[in-house]
Structure 1
Amino acid sequence: MKIASFNVNSLKARMGNLKDWLKEADPDVVCLQETKSTDETFPRGEIEDLGYNLAIHGQKTYNGVAILSKRPIEDVTIGLPEGDGDDHARYIECVIPVGETVLRVASIYLPNGNPIGTDKFTYKLAWMDRLKRHATTLLAYEEPLVLAGDYNVIPTPDDVYDPKAWEGDALYQPESRAKLRELINLGFTDAFRACHSEPHRYTFWDYQAGRWQKGQGIRIDHLLLSPQATDRLKACDIDQEIRGREKPSDHVPIWAELEF
């Protein structure tokens, strides 16, 4: 199975690009972020026509996550637990039957957190704590599990074109990076790093200052695998060329192949 994550940065603006990529890459499961679409305005028909079932958690103008699957979708969870009063559409989870087993998948759009020193950064760190607690529960199921999405965290200096340029950004703060390590250390594997040791492979290039043309990106979109999923990992890569297309998202898809 090919499982992908793609922050589309507005379905309305990227629908053509998304459909082209779905036809070319032919993923079995896709986790979308920043759909910026409500459940009612989500282009359900266009996606279903390509052979996908849908689980949607939308929000007007901001955020929005979804899961696309060629197989049936079951047991959908909307929103990250412990979210009393949190109306941000940042988390959706489901179970996908695969033969005699299941694959559990979550699409995650973690808060940006900027500027640091504000409630936004506090919210980011608290959200990461909530994710860690929920992930601990999910690991206890001992299922193949993929936590896929835009984590808005740069893990290491190897994942950014210029670490010093990001020292004042919430994506590269020691607290953000430490909480991502805490999550991974529960027993997850960074699928990309399990397959690639080379530095400076990116999933995001800002629209400003010609970052794409200059190769100045960051790696903030991640696929975290449970031990049961890691045992099935065959490949992982980034579809970087998508960023060079007309009217692209500032993110590109990252995908992993698991053998079932």
Structure 2
Amino acid sequence: RDRLVEEFSLDYVPHIHADAVIGWAWSVFNDYDFDQNELEFRHRTVRALAGIRRRIQHLHLADSVGIDFHKTGFTPYVSSLFLVKNAHDMRLVSRKPEDMPYLFQSGQYHPGQFTLETTRSGGGPMAALANLKLFGKRGLQSLLGHLVSMAEALREQLEGHAATTVLNGENFGPVTLFRVYPDGVDTFDVPRRERTEVSFREKLREYNRYNHQIFDLIQQEALSGEGVVLSLTDCYRETTYGEPIVALKSYIMSPFSAEDSVHSVLDSIHRARERLQDR
């Protein structure tokens, strides 16, 4: 940033905000010894966590950070934090007392200058503080490492199945994006052709519809109290010829998830595929 300020002769220093509402929590691994690996994470998990640390270790360089404790802090919704490095920067989002004549009559503490004072419950901040004190660094390391372990186990299972392909294999977090295909599809070659070959457009659309149908069946099962809850994105990314690629999404966030939970995902996919074949 300083180099750009000098290069373009800026008369101000740009404010750098890090939208780390999910990734902030992995900062607890900044000083984790992956060689010693005291928490005994499996090798694939250690590799993923080390990859996350390489990306998150520079978070402290940001001027401000957005944090959602209700995501990776395991608190109820809503519990968020806007954190600035320099208190002076809070004036960038504050209101002037003269604009709010019915507030700020006395005292020195006036959060209403930068937030909706008197309209929000204190439950969110208290929940965040309680969890940080309860878990501590080691507790969060254990929880987050477990989620990554389960996500890695799911990816390994999906990659080993002839009818599924993982789209975000290089992702190190708990989110897994994948596609499901009918029998007889070469899942090693077809994903590449979907992304790059315009002549494959109709097949891409056909398999997009297929994934929508798989999602609908899994969703029906989940709403009846069985199976698993997955989500769907209509456009994981666009192909080189401008078509959206539909993807199913698994977001493992429960600390109670286990290998059986991973098998449940595969079982739900299998049942949905069988139901489509029987139609």
Task: State the TM-score, normalizing by the size of structure 2.
Answer: 0.27
Flag the structure with more relative contact order, 1 or 2, with Cα contacts below 8 A and sequence separation at least 6.
1
Tell me the TM-score normalised to structure 1 length.
Answer: 0.28
Larger radius of gyration: 2
